[in-house]
């Protein structure tokens, strides 16, 4: 148990523009609560920052009082690294300012902003940058781990579009990191997670997208999944970069375009986003419509912001979640066999396995250009176990681990760091591959005492 003097807390409160919360105070439990309900940690103090000065003060306070330090952005991280026991939690959620410069095609984003916040501002000018698929995800955590989404085949990973960042380092200094300033730090935060400091401002390159895109869902019976995935992988190389098609295997949710008797049945759904001319959409997605005979489909023009929110109902906060993930260069026949077996034995109605299609521009960037190194990944496969009751923990986790192990022989061996759970520290090296040693060197320079260690931790070299 950490004991902080009343004088120390009073001094912290006086010097902080935001809130300083202690256990049992109003708002404390809400601030420590994360998207993944499996995480239930109790910090000694929470600082809800309203600006850079609050962040600097919180970092220095944690360092000077030898407190474990956690940093909360959107609080979506599966491992729950946003909160710690008996330490200080920096809560960035009040910092949600976004400024868009449409002429320069730049966005300046504070670390508490969500994807929905970002899209709201950028789409007002018909602009976007590659981000994730759930509008309540935090921009900061997603970016620091690499980031990918519907636009990645066309415009690369999120970090490929990061132009610069303001970073509070372990010594409390505010530095600007970009190609010309602290270039090694800028390289490291593009995929290296929160290991190197607290980012208080992101500068992104924007691209013309929407405001209307063409896409939707094609939903097939699970019995057709194997044949459909063979057609999917065959069509991959011919797909243009402005077409992104993900495959999701799960029980059918109560989608209004599906017959009622299909709800709850095992399915494979192909989720499609085409960002070319809307008039060309029907022709662009025709290849997917030929993957099988669907239970139903819902395709057409829609606002890009609407598509970015399409999966929010399946990813609401408050459920228990456990993930396992592999990067794939292909979807071989052997993987299809174990995949179908796993989906036929889903342990809860909310569990799913998805293939996030990347490739395209993500693979044209040199491996050493950013800390994110998995440029050979054509698909990111996520085994998403999700359920409600704690009594189902063991069964659902065992299902995810069993399929993960069965799929391992068909995978690249690397992994997307944002999909690592809290019990996978041994895979951190696999997340960074040939870039790991350079990351250790940057960590040793900027955080030699490992103040920022509530993450998928890159340990500094021994001094």
330 shares its domain with 220 = yes
Which residues, 6 or more positions from 435, have their beta carbon under 8 angstroms from its beta carbon? 191, 367, 368, 371, 373
Residue 1 pLDDT = 66
Residue 2 pLDDT = 76
- Interatomic CA distance for residues 36 and 75, integer angstroms: 8
Question: Among residues 46, 65, 91, which one ends one of the domains?
Answer: 91
Residue 374 pLDDT = 98
Nearest one of 187, 140, 326, 436 to 457, comparing CA atoms: 436
pTM: 0.97
For residue range 402-436, list pLDDT tens digits in order: 999 999 999 999 999 999 999 999 999 999 999 99
Residue 424 pLDDT = 96
Question: Which pLDDT band, with edges at 50, 70 and 90, does 216 fall under?
Answer: very high
Residue 177's beta-bridge partner residues?
165
10 shares its domain with 157 = no
284 shares its domain with 304 = yes
Residue 44 pLDDT = 97
The answer to whether residue 117 is domain-embedded is yes
For residue range 292-317, list pLDDT tens digits in order: 999 999 999 999 999 999 999 999 99
The answer to whether residue 424 is domain-embedded is no
Determine contact, residues 207/153, Cβ cutoff 8 Å.
Answer: no
Residue 3 pLDDT = 82
Domain enclosing residue 277, as ranges: 212-419
The answer to whether residue 34 is domain-embedded is yes
The answer to whether residue 126 is domain-embedded is yes
Question: Among residues 91, 112, 130, which one ends one of the domains?
Answer: 91
105 shares its domain with 243 = no
The answer to whether residue 458 is domain-embedded is no
254 shares its domain with 381 = yes
Question: Among residues 91, 111, 140, which one ends one of the domains?
Answer: 91
For residue range 148-172, list pLDDT tens digits in order: 999 999 999 999 999 999 999 999 9
151 shares its domain with 39 = no
CATH number at residue 180: 3.30.465.10
Kindly state the average pLDDT of the residues 56-66.
98
Question: Which pLDDT band, with edges at 50, 70 and 90, does 462 fall under?
Answer: confident
Instruction: Give the rounded percent of residues in the chain with a pLDDT score beyond 90.
Output: 99
289 shares its domain with 320 = yes
CATH number at residue 38: 3.30.43.10
Kindly state the average pLDDT of the residues 344-351.
97
Average pLDDT over all residues of the chain: 97
The answer to whether residue 393 is domain-embedded is yes
Q: Is the pLDDT of residue 463 over 60?
A: no
For residue range 328-343, list pLDDT tens digits in order: 999 999 999 999 999 9
The answer to whether residue 142 is domain-embedded is yes
261 shares its domain with 391 = yes
217 shares its domain with 349 = yes
Kindly state the average pLDDT of the residues 348-352.
97
Q: Are strands 88-91 and 69-72 parallel, antiparallel or unpaired?
A: parallel
249 shares its domain with 286 = yes
Q: Where are the beta strands (DSSP E) in 206-242?
A: 207-208, 212-221
Kindly state the average pLDDT of the residues 56-67.
98
Q: How many domains does one find in the chain?
A: 3
The answer to whether residue 135 is domain-embedded is yes
Chain Cα centroid distance, residue 412: 20
306 shares its domain with 342 = yes
79 shares its domain with 130 = no
Residue 121 pLDDT = 98
């Amino acid at each position: 148990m950490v004991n902080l003097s009343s004088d120390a807390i009073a001094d912290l409160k006086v010097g902080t523009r935001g809130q300083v919360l202690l256990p049992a105070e109003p708002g404390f439990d809400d601030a420590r609560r994360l998207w993944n309900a499996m995480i239930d940690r109790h910090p000694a103090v929470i600082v809800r920052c309203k600006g850079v000065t609050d962040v600097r003060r919180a970092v220095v306070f944690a360092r000077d009082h030898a407190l474990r330090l956690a940093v909360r952005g959107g609080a979506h991280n599966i491992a729950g690294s946003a909160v710690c026991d008996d330490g200080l939690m920096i809560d960035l959620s009040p910092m949600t300012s976004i400024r868009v410069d449409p002429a320069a095609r730049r966005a300046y984003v504070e670390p508490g902003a969500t994807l929905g916040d970002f899209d709201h501002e950028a789409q007002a000018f018909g602009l976007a940058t590659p981000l994730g698929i759930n509008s309540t995800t935090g921009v900061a955590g997603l970016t620091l781990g690499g980031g990918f989404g519907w636009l990645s085949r066309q415009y690369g990973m999120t970090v490929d579009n990061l132009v610069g960042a303001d970073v509070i380092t372990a010594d409390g200094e505010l530095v600007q990191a970009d190609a010309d300033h602290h270039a090694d730090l800028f390289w490291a935060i593009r995929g290296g997670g929160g290991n190197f400091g607290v980012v208080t401002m992101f500068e992104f390159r924007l691209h013309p997208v929407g405001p209307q895109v063409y896409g939707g869902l094609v939903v097939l019976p699970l019995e057709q999944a194997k044949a459909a995935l063979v057609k999917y992988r065959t069509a991959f190389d011919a797909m243009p970069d402005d077409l992104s098609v993900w495959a999701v295997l799960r029980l059918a949710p109560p989608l209004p375009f599906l017959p009622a008797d299909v709800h709850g049945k095992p399915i494979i759904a192909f989720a499609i986003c085409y960002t070319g001319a809307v008039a060309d959409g029907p022709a662009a997605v025709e290849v997917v419509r030929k993957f099988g005979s669907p239970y139903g489909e819902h395709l057409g023009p829609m606002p890009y912001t609407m598509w970015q929110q399409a999966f929010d109902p399946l990813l609401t906060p408050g459920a228990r979640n456990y993930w396992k993930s592999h990067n794939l260069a292909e979807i071989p026949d052997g993987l299809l066999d174990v995949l179908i077996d796993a989906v036929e034995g889903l342990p809860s109605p909310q569990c799913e396995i998805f293939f996030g299609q990347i490739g395209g521009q993500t693979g044209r960037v040199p491996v050493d250009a950013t800390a994110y190194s998995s440029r050979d990944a054509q698909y990111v496969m996520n085994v998403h176990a999700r359920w409600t009751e704690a009594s189902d923990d063991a069964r659902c986790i065992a299902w995810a681990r069993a399929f993960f192990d069965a799929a391992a022989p068909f995978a690249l061996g690397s992994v997307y760091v944002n999909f690592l759970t809290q019990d996978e520290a041994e895979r951190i090296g696999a997340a960074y591959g040939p870039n790991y040693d350079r990351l250790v060197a940057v960590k040793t320079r900027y955080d030699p005492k490992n103040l920022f260690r509530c993450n998928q931790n890159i340990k500094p070299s021994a001094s």
